[in-house]
Amino acid sequence: MNDTPTPPAVDAEEPLLAIRDLVVELPGPDGERLRAIDGVDLTVGRGEIVGLAGESGSGKTMTALALLGLLPQGGSASGQMLVEGQDVLTMTPRQVRDLRGNRVAMVFQDPMTSLHPMLSIGKQLTEHLRHHKKLDKRAADARAVELLATVRIPDPERALRRYPHQFSGGMRQRIAIAIALACDPALLLADEPTTALDVTVQAGILRLLDRLRRENGLSVLIITHDLGVMSALADRVSVMYAGRIVESGPRADVLREPRHPYTRGLLDALPHPDGGTAALVPIVGAPPKLGQAPTGCAFHPRCPHAVDSCRQDRPRLLALTPTHAGACPIDPLAVAASKVDSR
Amino acid sequence: MTLSSVTSTIAVTSKAPGLVLRNLSVAYRTPGRPTVRAVAGVSLSVTPGQVVGLVGESGCGKSTLGKAAVGLLKPAAGLVEFDGRPVVPLGLRSRPTGQRGLQMVFQDPYASLNPRRRVGEQISDAVVLAGGTREKGRGVARELLERVGLPPEFADRFPHEFSGGQRQRIAIARVLAAEPTCIVADEPIAALDASAQASVANLLLELARERNVGLLFISHDLSIVRQIADTVAVMYLGTVVESGPTDQVWAEPRHPYSKALIAAVPRADGSGELPVDLPGDVPDPAFPPAGCRFHPRCPVAVDACADAEPALVEFLPRRRAACTVLAPTLEKVG
């Protein structure tokens, strides 16, 4: 896999982000290596919004952190993470630093902790503009005003001199997005960007991201456990469980005809906005802790359909249709697909 | 759910058992700043066995209302009654015996449990406080852990050994040890994962039904409230703008704010439809807009909306709304 040289020219067909066989290991308490991500493949096309779903601890956030070279201390990543054809995992720290906040930017869940409480909005917005784009103060300020207007902060000139605590949660998240957009990134990593916000404010942020995609051709990898948010925004959805992708495909396929019992479980646990008052069906049990994934299919202890073979054989992600893939060995479509696959 | 079996409404009925708020106002005073009326005249009631949902955006005063309801804050005006007696704001003394049936579940189960005490001890405190022995408390703790879906052996563990969903179950078990007849739950599932949210919400609903406990369920998540509440009150900037049986309010919201809130909920149906945006933020409650508090953000506001604050009108049995524009079309009942 490492023998293939990366193509130098930018191919229009080539996805903006291509993650291949990503494995992330973190140090355990006794010096052992714990696998947080175990062979993930994921692509994001230009101008595409891809969703990564799953419960906390499934490895969603770790995927994004690996891409930014921000893994926790002692963490290591292998495989390939190509951004515009360049493998982030083989870059020098300096090259990663040039990429981060520049071509790839990230928005975190909680804008109160991702913004610096003691620095003015203007300072935080222009810092990396001056660093990456070498703009002088006046040009950087002008760009900052433009950015705040893009994310619809009223009175942007005045906002530059204000501090995070003077804004509401929704405004702060808009500011965090403006900071992420400052250097005109090709890819925005949005980790639960609306989870801390009210539904009305969330609707505004989702519309903002959608507009930026349509008008600026921004690509977004949105990480969320909220399948409603996923359904509103993402073109394609991948569902993660215990460090592996268990299902992926176009939004409508995955959410309307989920193939993996875990995806089905996540959907059943949601209140049905238009349905009756049928009781919510939670998924029994809890996801495995880091490094304690069971053998076979990691989901089998919680799966209502598990059979003996699920306890031994680790299912592979198989193409069920040309675009829809699932990793459940007892799904009838997957059984058919595995026969084709093994010829 | 049979709505007809729910006897009470949001209306205030005197001498009713359960929790009654009458024209409640709660104010925060900061020297040198204007007084903030976080709750500005709210009436509602929760009878035993009834689940009342209170929804609204952050900053609308719903948590303040919850705290005042259990006596953690002193009302500036109006009254909080529990089983016909006024709820005395908590001071340095312990809670009056008559009020022990009124309990609260907090949002953050990481902060609401003492990290240095075993969960069994924390659950059994209520039993000891009520005059029981520690020995009896231990038995109760094990029973209650089982009731909230956890193994009784967990009584000997510390809070850090549990996930968020498990901690919230422990917090609920602790509340149950006081044998409550009314529980005020302030965003009890907001800090949990989606699948844990469903199971904790189900648990609260089951307990309300099985033990005939009234539940005031405070949440910003309308879809979960829609699932478990018998009646719902929609709050905006300190006042209730609409209330009624949950399925009716959800199916046919009348107040423009309730409409906007419901339209903003994204649906996981794979359609790719973006939820409807409600521009603007909740205003600073220190400077509430004149007239209808929602009018600066309201899509249907007219000039008259800035003049007077609309009253909450009962336009259908058990359904109320407060809107100047709607007022002529809302026929008064009785």
Describe the strand order of the beta sheet including A187-191 as a list of residue ranges.
Answer: A104-107, A187-191, A219-223, A49-53, A236-241, A244-250, A325-326, A318-319
Please give the residue that has the higher pLDDT: either A277 or A239.
Answer: A239
| Contact criterion met (CB below 8 Å) for B179 and B99 | no
Confidence of residue A272 (pLDDT cuts 50, 70, 90): low
What is the pLDDT at residue A339? 67
| Cα B33 from Cα B38, distance rounded (Å) | 14
| Packing angle, helices A121-133 and A169-181, rounded to 10 | 10
**In this model, does residue B93 exceed pLDDT 90?**
no
**B223/A273 touch (CB, cutoff 8 Å), yes or no:** yes
| Cα B106 from Cα B76, distance rounded (Å) | 23
To the nearest whole angstrom, how far is the Cα of A250 from the nearest Cα of chain B? 9
| Cα A193 from Cα A215, distance rounded (Å) | 20
- Using CB atoms within 10 Å of the CB of residue A276, give its burial: 0 to 12 exposed, 13 to 18 middle, 19+ buried: exposed
To the nearest whole angstrom, how far is the Cα of A219 from the nearest Cα of chain B? 16
Confidence of residue A340 (pLDDT cuts 50, 70, 90): low
pLDDT in tens, B276-319: 988 877 788 888 999 999 999 999 999 999 999 999 999 999 99
**In this model, does residue A160 exceed pLDDT 90?**
yes
Which of chain B's residues have a Cβ under 8 Å away from the Cβ of A231? 266-273
Residue A252, chain B, CB below 8 Å: the answer is yes
Which of chain A's residues have a Cβ under 8 Å away from the Cβ of B219? none
What is the pLDDT at residue B146? 93
| Cα A310 from Cα B39, distance rounded (Å) | 55
Mean predicted confidence (pLDDT) in A120-149: 92
**B268/A56 touch (CB, cutoff 8 Å), yes or no:** no
Among B55, B60, B63, B195, the residue to mutate for chain A (most A Cβ within 10 A): B195
- Taking only Cα atoms into account, the Rg of chain A, rounded to an integer number of angstroms, comes to 21
What is the pLDDT at residue A343? 43
- Give chain A's domains with CATH numbers: 17-103+183-341 (3.40.50.300), 110-182 (no CATH)
What is the pLDDT at residue A278? 63
Please give the residue that has the higher pLDDT: either A282 or A274.
Answer: A282
**A256/B264 touch (CB, cutoff 8 Å), yes or no:** no
Residue in A200, A226, A279 nearest the CB of B57: A200
Mean predicted confidence (pLDDT) in B10-18: 58
To the nearest whole angstrom, how far is the Cα of B262 from the nearest Cα of chain A? 9
Residue in A203, A270, A273 nearest the CB of B276: A203
Residue A267, chain B, CB below 8 Å: the answer is yes
pLDDT in tens, B172-199: 999 999 999 999 999 999 878 777 888 8
Confidence of residue B261 (pLDDT cuts 50, 70, 90): very high
Percent of chain B at pLDDT > 70 equals 94
Work out the angle at residue B28's Cα, subtended by the Cα atoms of residues B24 and B30, and round it to the nearest 5 degrees: 160
Residue in B195, B226, B281 nearest the CB of A271: B226
Q: Which two tokens stand for residue A133?
A: 């784009």
Q: Which residue of A has its CA nearest to B220?
A: A198
pLDDT in tens, B227-254: 899 999 999 999 999 999 999 999 999 9
**B275/A232 touch (CB, cutoff 8 Å), yes or no:** yes
Please give the residue that has the higher pLDDT: either A337 or A142.
Answer: A142
**In this model, does residue B222 exceed pLDDT 70?**
yes
Which of chain B's residues have a Cβ under 8 Å away from the Cβ of A266? 194-195
What is the pLDDT at residue B279? 81
The reported pTM is 0.84
Beta-carbon contacts below 8 Å between A and B:
136
Residue A4, chain B, CB below 8 Å: the answer is no
Mean predicted confidence (pLDDT) in A299-307: 92
pLDDT in tens, A222-242: 999 889 999 999 999 999 999
What is the pLDDT at residue B3? 40
**In this model, does residue A7 exceed pLDDT 70?**
no
**B194/A226 touch (CB, cutoff 8 Å), yes or no:** yes
Contacts of B32 by beta carbon, 8 Å cutoff, 6+ apart: none
To the nearest whole angstrom, how far is the Cα of B333 from the nearest Cα of chain A? 28
Please give the residue that has the higher pLDDT: either B301 or B330.
Answer: B301
What is the pLDDT at residue B165? 87
Residue A233, chain B, CB below 8 Å: the answer is yes
**In this model, does residue A13 exceed pLDDT 90?**
no
pLDDT in tens, A27-85: 988 889 999 999 999 999 999 999 999 887 889 999 999 999 999 999 999 999 999 99
Q: Write the DSSP string, A175-212.
A: HHHHHHHTT--SEEEEESTTTTS-HHHHHHHHHHHHHH
Nearest to A192 by CA among A92, A110, A299, A119: A110
Helix/strand/coil for B82: strand
Mean predicted confidence (pLDDT) in B146-161: 93
Which of chain A's residues have a Cβ under 8 Å away from the Cβ of B270? 231, 251-256
Q: Which residue of B has its CA nearest to A227?
A: B268
Residue in B195, B269, B276 nearest the CB of A265: B195
**In this model, does residue B13 exceed pLDDT 80?**
no
| Cα B178 from Cα B266, distance rounded (Å) | 38
Give the residue carrying structure tokens 């189960």: B109
ipTM of the modeled complex = 0.79
Confidence of residue A270 (pLDDT cuts 50, 70, 90): confident
Mean predicted confidence (pLDDT) in B109-138: 93
pLDDT in tens, A71-111: 999 999 999 999 999 999 999 999 999 999 899 999 988 88
To the nearest whole angstrom, how far is the Cα of B135 from the nearest Cα of chain A? 31
Residue A256, chain B, CB below 8 Å: the answer is yes
Among B51, B167, B193, the residue to mutate for chain A (most A Cβ within 10 A): B193
Task: Give the largest Cα separation in chain B, rounded.
Answer: 66
Describe the strand order of the beta sheet including B77-82 as a list of residue ranges.
Answer: B36-46, B19-28, B77-82, B85-86
Mean predicted confidence (pLDDT) in B132-140: 94
Phi/psi of residue A189, each to 5°?
-95, 120
Residue A145, chain B, CB below 8 Å: the answer is no
**A204/B222 touch (CB, cutoff 8 Å), yes or no:** no
Q: Which residue of A has its CA nearest to B219?
A: A198
Q: Which residue of A has its CA nearest to B268?
A: A228
pLDDT in tens, A179-197: 999 999 999 999 999 887 8
Which of chain A's residues have a Cβ under 8 Å away from the Cβ of B249? none
Confidence of residue B97 (pLDDT cuts 50, 70, 90): confident
Confidence of residue A341 (pLDDT cuts 50, 70, 90): low
A 16-45: CB under 8 A from B: none
Residue in B163, B269, B282 nearest the CB of A255: B269
**A271/B227 touch (CB, cutoff 8 Å), yes or no:** yes
Which of chain B's residues have a Cβ under 8 Å away from the Cβ of A279? 202, 205
Look at A330-334, B205-209, B288-292, B326-330 and tell me which has the smallest mean pLDDT: A330-334
What is the pLDDT at residue B9? 43
**B260/A231 touch (CB, cutoff 8 Å), yes or no:** no
